[in-house]
């Protein structure tokens, strides 16, 4: 038996060699794994694959996309029915956290079963009393509160489509937002938003006379829907499911997109599925998650990536009424949350706030903070100060069905929006989203090589993020786009990108890849800028200013302000008399401008700075903004421009000088 001995000898030699080389192999593997993140990817494959199969099964066999079914299943299962689904933390009337401490709050709890029963009773009211039917679009003008969630789920039960209005909007943008989705009714939060809704009510009814306006007061409605003897309504499954496809709208949220009035982005059932079941996998959001969010539910961040993952993973949603720096950690502590949601600016406020007893008590208890727009320099500060174990940054646009994710626990990917491993990166790049190079001299135009195709940018080079359309012949099945706005929908689609016949959706956001494939956000292009976590559309602000007879032309751009996140509005104005009015007359114009922007624009849309200048027109009679981009404060690059700032307290524009600018930078003057 020589051969057996030979084999044994070979195996023994290999084993010895292996053990001798072991530290080397281990070091090599560590290096390799750091670079290609094989372990990280490995953890994603099976759960993601299973969910993908489930979605295929839904699409091909059951056609049952409505997530009301999943919540119903949870509510009726013996295991979860008495688990808390929703905590809501609100100020007691007349109380102030700074004086009353914890006593200022009350926390409401709803188990899955309670929530489900409430939703059925509320459905009865919405369906029988207000006539809401399957297929109706229903706009909601609501602040964060349990009723928001209950209405949303009741509408899903009925088979209607909720559209979440931004409750900061008034007048034209609000009228437009309602009109564009052709709703059967608008539900108004009569406890918190009635006054501001009434301000625009007549304009809305003038534009849309058939609209039914329904005021709902929590303190009248809640006792009825909590009462077990109230009648319930559950839509028949046949009616609810009739004709529903994966790409049909599940709910509508608004985005100011890149130009013009707010557009209503369709969030399809498929997107909701991805948000509820795929997004939690790389983020590691499980049924143990108790997610505190004070982000407004009318944004996709709070609703689609906050409430949906919480409910569909059978965790708990802890809802705050509104973000507050001073009581933030008290609220998190009172709800016992282990996961918190942010948008970038919020983190800066938290990191800069004075230390509190609450945060000391809660140090180290938050497992994950996730959201979008966290700045690279704030990122580690946030983790260290509050002992947060992991950060989950994502990038998602209201229009696109996908989000990128970056879960950072041990330092890989600080500041990135995506930190998957090599394999996942290749897979996602081919099937979901990737970057394309821009023209060397113009960041707004995509580069095409001599064959007419786009290219991926090199490491460290900026490129626009684009999302793949799976079926280029039927764009809407992957990219449902905007409601009743074909032009805006199709203007986002580009074709023949990497080969003939493919189609992708542009994001208008510029990104960059580093050496190990992490992707970082760099810039936003075009005609919007972000201020106070909101998109501001320059056209919308311009249209508002042009309503004034005194203004001939205006150009609004985003402007960087020292020590402030994002860009604020900066308006360049040309009066009818070419700015040749006397100082006194110009002052009157400024007063009118101030009055106009304060009454007609949401706080984040008001130009914080204005200046008079001559505005050139292009050959196609568009105003040319190039010269005004990237304004320099306080007095322009030459130091001689006369700039005014919006004094929000006095509601007027005041001359800006070096000293007042310094105070703005130090937030002594708030803009
Ligand atoms: C708003 O309008 C409704 C109906 O016209 C009216 O009943 C209500 O009193 C108004 N509320 C406020 C705060 O003005
Ligand atoms: C801002 O605009 C982008 C790009 O159109 C969109 O994806 C995003 O959801 C918008 N955000 C808000 C708060 O409207
Ligand atoms: C991060 O580091 C900690 C401590 O070194 C370790 O326990 C944990 O497993 C690491 N997590 C990841 C995702 O590598």
| 3-class secondary structure, 631 | coil
Asked if residue 1 has pLDDT above 60, the reply is: no
pLDDT given at position 524: 66
Q: Could you tell me which residues come within 8 angstroms of residue 286 by beta carbon, excluding any fewer than 6 positions away? A: 280, 313, 315
In a domain, 415, yes or no: no
* Closest alpha carbon to 427 in 62, 120, 45: 45
Nearest CA to ligand 1 atom 13: 195
Residue that finishes a domain, picked among 478, 496, 524: 524
Asked if 62 and 19 sit in the same domain, the reply is: no
DSSP class of residue 645?
Answer: E
Task: Over range 304-327, report the average pLDDT.
Answer: 95
pLDDT given at position 399: 63
In a domain, 660, yes or no: yes
Work out the pLDDT band at 199, boundaries 50, 70, 90: very high
In a domain, 121, yes or no: yes
Assign residue 614 the CATH number of its domain: 3.30.300.30
Ligand 2 pocket, residues with Cβ under 6 angstroms: 255-258, 299, 397-399, 508, 534-535
Asked if 501 and 489 sit in the same domain, the reply is: yes
The minimum-distance atom of ligand 3 relative to the CA of 40 is 13
- State how far Cα 552 lies from the chain centre: 35
pLDDT given at position 619: 46
pLDDT given at position 580: 87
pLDDT given at position 441: 58
Asked if 30 and 173 sit in the same domain, the reply is: no
pLDDT digits (tens, 9 = 90+) for 94-108: 898 988 989 999 999
Asked if 92 and 191 sit in the same domain, the reply is: yes
Asked if residue 191 has pLDDT above 80, the reply is: yes
pLDDT given at position 257: 46
Asked if 305 and 440 sit in the same domain, the reply is: no
DSSP class of residue 62?
Answer: I
The minimum-distance atom of ligand 2 relative to the CA of 255 is 14
Asked if 326 and 436 sit in the same domain, the reply is: no
* Closest alpha carbon to 404 in 433, 381, 430, 437: 433
Centre of ligand 1 from the C-alpha of residue 356, in Å? 41
Asked if 210 and 345 sit in the same domain, the reply is: yes
Centre of ligand 1 from the C-alpha of residue 198, in Å? 6
pLDDT digits (tens, 9 = 90+) for 561-580: 988 888 899 999 999 888 88
In a domain, 377, yes or no: yes
Residue that finishes a domain, picked among 494, 524, 554: 524
Asked if residue 36 has pLDDT above 90, the reply is: no
In a domain, 416, yes or no: no
Asked if residue 507 has pLDDT above 50, the reply is: yes
Asked if 320 and 376 sit in the same domain, the reply is: yes
In a domain, 616, yes or no: yes
Work out the pLDDT band at 93, boundaries 50, 70, 90: confident
Looking at the structure of the chain, the number of domains it has is 4
pLDDT digits (tens, 9 = 90+) for 445-476: 789 999 999 999 999 998 999 988 888 888 87
Centre of ligand 1 from the C-alpha of residue 214, in Å? 11
The minimum-distance atom of ligand 2 relative to the CA of 399 is 7
Task: Over range 378-402, report the average pLDDT.
Answer: 88
The minimum-distance atom of ligand 3 relative to the CA of 410 is 1
In a domain, 119, yes or no: yes
Task: Over range 53-57, report the average pLDDT.
Answer: 93
Q: Tokens standing for 13?
A: 């030699």
Centre of ligand 2 from the C-alpha of residue 276, in Å? 20
* Closest alpha carbon to 457 in 432, 436, 433: 436
Asked if 63 and 149 sit in the same domain, the reply is: yes
The strand pair at 503-513 and 519-524 is best described as: antiparallel
* The model's pTM: 0.79
Centre of ligand 3 from the C-alpha of residue 307, in Å? 28
Work out the pLDDT band at 4, boundaries 50, 70, 90: confident
pLDDT given at position 376: 85
Q: Could you tell me which residues come within 8 angstroms of residue 96 by beta carbon, excluding any fewer than 6 positions away? A: 104
Asked if 73 and 107 sit in the same domain, the reply is: yes
Q: Tokens standing for 661?
A: 């600018």
Work out the pLDDT band at 258, boundaries 50, 70, 90: very low
User: Which residue among 409, 412, 419 has the greatest number of ligand 3 atoms within 8 angstroms of its CB, and so is best to mutate?
Assistant: 409
Asked if 348 and 490 sit in the same domain, the reply is: no
- Three-class HEC string of 337-373: CCEEEEEHHHHHHHHHCCCCHHHHHHCCCCCEEEEEC
Q: Report the C-alpha gap between 312 and 290 in whole angstroms.
A: 12
pLDDT given at position 543: 85
| 3-class secondary structure, 558 | strand
Asked if residue 624 has pLDDT above 80, the reply is: no
pLDDT digits (tens, 9 = 90+) for 515-544: 888 999 876 665 678 888 888 888 889 888
Assign residue 491 the CATH number of its domain: 2.30.38.10
524/141: higher pLDDT: 141
Peptide bond into 634 cis (omega under 30): yes
pLDDT given at position 304: 94
pLDDT digits (tens, 9 = 90+) for 150-179: 999 999 999 999 999 999 888 888 998 999
Work out the pLDDT band at 626, boundaries 50, 70, 90: low
Structural domain span for residue 506 = 422-524
For residues 324 and 352, the answer to whether their CB atoms sit within 8 Å is: no
In a domain, 417, yes or no: no
Centre of ligand 1 from the C-alpha of residue 298, in Å? 23
What does the mean pLDDT of the chain come to?
89
Asked if 464 and 593 sit in the same domain, the reply is: no
Asked if residue 189 has pLDDT above 90, the reply is: yes
Q: For 378-509, where are the alpha helices, taking DSSP H only?
A: 378-386, 422-431, 486-491
pLDDT given at position 509: 83
pLDDT digits (tens, 9 = 90+) for 409-431: 987 889 999 988 888 888 888 88
Residue that finishes a domain, picked among 355, 386, 408: 408
Could you tell me which residues are beta bridge partners of residue 562? Answer: none
pLDDT given at position 416: 93
């Amino acid at each position: 038996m020589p051969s057996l001995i030979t084999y044994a000898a070979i195996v023994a030699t290999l084993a010895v060699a292996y053990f001798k080389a072991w530290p080397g192999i281990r070091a090599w593997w560590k290096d390799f794994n750091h670079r290609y993140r094989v372990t990280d990817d490995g953890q994603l494959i099976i759960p993601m694959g299973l969910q993908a199969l489930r979605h295929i099964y839904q699409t091909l066999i059951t056609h049952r996309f409505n997530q009301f079914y999943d919540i119903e299943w949870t509510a009726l299962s013996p295991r979860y029915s008495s688990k808390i689904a929703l905590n809501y933390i609100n100020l007691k009337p007349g109380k102030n956290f700074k004086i009353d401490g914890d006593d200022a709050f009350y926390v409401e709890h709803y188990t899955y079963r309670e929530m489900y029963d409430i939703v059925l009773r509320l459905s009865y009211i919405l369906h029988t009393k207000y006539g809401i039917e399957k297929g109706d679009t229903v706009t909601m003008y609501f602040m964060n509160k349990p009723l928001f969630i209950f209405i949303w789920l009741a509408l899903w039960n009925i088979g209607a489509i909720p559209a979440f209005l931004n409750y900061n909007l008034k007048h034209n943008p609000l009228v437009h937002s309602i009109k564009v989705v052709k709703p059967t009714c608008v539900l108004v939060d009569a406890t918190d938003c009635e006054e501001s809704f009434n301000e625009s009510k007549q304009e809305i009814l003038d534009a849309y006379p058939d609209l039914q306006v329904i005021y709902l007061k929590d303190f009248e409605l809640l006792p009825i829907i909590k009462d077990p003897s109230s009648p319930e309504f559950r839509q028949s499954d046949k009616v609810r499911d009739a004709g529903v496809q994966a790409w049909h709208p599940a709910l509508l949220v608004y985005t100011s997109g890149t130009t013009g009035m707010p557009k209503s982005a369709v969030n399809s059932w498929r997107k909701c599925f991805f948000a509820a079941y795929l997004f939690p996998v790389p983020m590691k959001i499980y049924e143990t998650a108790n997610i505190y969010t004070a982000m407004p539910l009318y944004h996709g961040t709070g609703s689609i990536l906050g409430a949906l993952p919480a409910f569909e993973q059978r965790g708990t949603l802890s809802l705050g009424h509104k973000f507050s720096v001073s009581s933030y950690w008290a609220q998190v502590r009172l709800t016992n949350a282990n996961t918190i949601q942010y948008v970038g600016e919020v983190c800066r406020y938290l990191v800069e706030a004075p230390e509190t007893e609450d945060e000391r008590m809660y140090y180290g208890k938050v497992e994950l903070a996730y959201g979008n727009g966290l700045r690279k320099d704030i990122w580690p500060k946030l983790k260290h100060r509050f002992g947060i174990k992991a950060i989950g940054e994502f990038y998602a646009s209201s229009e696109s069905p996908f989000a990128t994710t970056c879960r950072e626990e041990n330092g890989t990917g600080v500041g990135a929006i995506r930190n998957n491993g090599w394999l996942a990166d290749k897979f996602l790049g081919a099937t979901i989203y990737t970057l394309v190079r821009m023209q060397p001299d113009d960041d707004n135009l995509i580069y095409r090589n001599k064959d007419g195709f786009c290219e991926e940018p090199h490491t460290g080079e900026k490129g626009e993020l684009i999302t793949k359309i799976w079926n280029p012949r039927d764009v809407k099945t992957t990219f449902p786009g905007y409601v009743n706005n074909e032009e805006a929908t199709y203007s986002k689609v580009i074709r023949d990108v990497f080969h003939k016949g493919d189609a992708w959706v542009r994001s208008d956001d510029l990104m960059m890849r580093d050496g190990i494939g992490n992707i970082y956000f760099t810039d936003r292009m075009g005609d919007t800028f972000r201020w106070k976590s909101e998109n501001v559309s320059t056209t919308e602000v311009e249209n508002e200013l042009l309503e004034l007879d005194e203004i001939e032309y205006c150009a609004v751009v985003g402007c960087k302000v020292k020590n402030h996140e994002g860009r604020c509005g900066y308006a360049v104005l040309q009066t009818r008399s070419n700015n040749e009015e006397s100082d006194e007359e110009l002052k009157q114009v400024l007063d009118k401008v101030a009055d106009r922007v304060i009454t007609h624009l949401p706080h984040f849309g008001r130009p914080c700075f204005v200046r008079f200048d001559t505005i050139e027109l292009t050959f196609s009679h568009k105003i040319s903004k190039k010269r005004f981009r990237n304004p320099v404060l306080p007095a322009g690059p030459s130091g001689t421009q006369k700039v005014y700032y919006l004094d929000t307290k006095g509601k007027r524009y005041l001359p800006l000088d070096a000293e007042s600018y310094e105070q703005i930078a130090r937030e002594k003057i708030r803009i």
